[in-house]
Amino acid sequence: MLKNSSVHILFPQSCLNCKKEGSVICEDCLSSIEISEFKYCPFCKTPKRVFEKGTCSSHRKMRLSGIFSATSYKNPLVKRLISKFKYEPFLKNLGLPLASLIIAHFLLSENKTIFKDKENSVFVPIPLSRFRQRWRGFNQASLIARELSKFFKIPLLNNNLIKVKKTQLQVELKREEREKNIKGAFKVQRLKEIQGKRIFLIDDVFTTGATMEECARVLKKAGAKEVWGIVIARESLCN
């Protein structure tokens, strides 16, 4: 504890955006990020707003029931925060402020009603490969899911959905290539923890939906009742 305190005295934390000392992202800058109050079909190239259902009529056969996204990845500050969270030198303490954007989304909208059946709901982070997790030292989706679990009082189910196949980084691939790349990459280890549950898959950014759709397929096959996605930001579909 003394060592950490000394580090902060010599090298005080400052806001990544405005440089004000005190925290990695100050409250003023965090509150400047526009929060989405609505939900949109995950699979439409141009996001289409949906209401009771999580997808538009053209995508009802998809395994993923819908997606909740706190904000847009087009926001330069959002993009920077997520990048600092995921890539070296890894600002792990961004987990809480980034999770707070998701919490704000649910509090500002009527979407929080999705959590009414808490006894049959669980948060499940999108897993990383062993290599990727060793390299980073943590799973960013797990850190976000932990904060959401504490706030919404919904259990966090770690290390059940696992990644069993080495894949190329999705960011390097086009839409069709992503689906092929991620096919067969995930496995459920303990079926009883999944069966009959409403699963909320947690990740940082949603792009084409290939990863979440494949996870949803595996979870539905294992007996999940519903599978919804929750992310910090949605990226525009351009491929």
Under the banding of pLDDT at 50, 70 and 90, the label for residue 12 is low
Question: In this structure, what token pair is assigned to residue 85?
Answer: 């969270």
Q: Check residue 78 and give its pLDDT.
A: 97
Write the DSSP assignment of 139-189 as a string of letters: -HHHHHHHHHHHHHT--B--SSEEE-S----GGGS-HHHHHHHHTT-EEES
List, in order, residues 6 or more apart from 77 with CB less than 8 Å away. 17, 29, 32, 33
- Contact between 70 and 111 (Cβ < 8 Å): no
Q: Check residue 124 and give its pLDDT.
A: 98
- Contact between 37 and 105 (Cβ < 8 Å): yes
The more confident residue out of 236 and 162 is: 162
Give the C-alpha separation, 96 to 164, whole Å. Answer: 28
Under the banding of pLDDT at 50, 70 and 90, the label for residue 13 is confident
Segment 44-53 long-range contacts (CB within 8 Å, at least 24 positions apart) = 45/237, 47/234
Q: Check residue 85 and give its pLDDT.
A: 96
Task: State yes or no: pLDDT of 1 exceeds 70.
Answer: no
Q: What is the pLDDT of residues 129-181, one digit of tens each?
A: 988 898 889 999 999 999 999 999 999 999 999 999 888 878 777 778 888 89
Task: State yes or no: pLDDT of 10 exceeds 50.
Answer: no
Determine the average pLDDT of the residues in 14-36: 95
Q: What is the pLDDT of residues 58-98, one digit of tens each?
A: 999 999 999 999 999 999 999 999 999 999 889 999 999 99
Place of tokens 């400047």: 32
Chain mean pLDDT for the chain: 90
Closest CA to 124 of 27, 10, 229, 36: 229
- Percent of the chain predicted with pLDDT > 70: 93
The more confident residue out of 109 and 174 is: 109
Task: State yes or no: pLDDT of 238 exceeds 70.
Answer: no
Determine the average pLDDT of the residues in 7-29: 81
- Contact between 103 and 148 (Cβ < 8 Å): yes
List, in order, residues 6 or more apart from 224 with CB less than 8 Å away. 194, 195, 196, 197, 198, 199, 216
> Which H or E run contains 15?
none
Q: Check residue 189 and give its pLDDT.
A: 97
- Contact between 194 and 187 (Cβ < 8 Å): no
Q: Check residue 123 and give its pLDDT.
A: 98
Determine the average pLDDT of the residues in 42-49: 88
Could you tell me the domains of the chain? Answer: 34-234 (3.40.50)
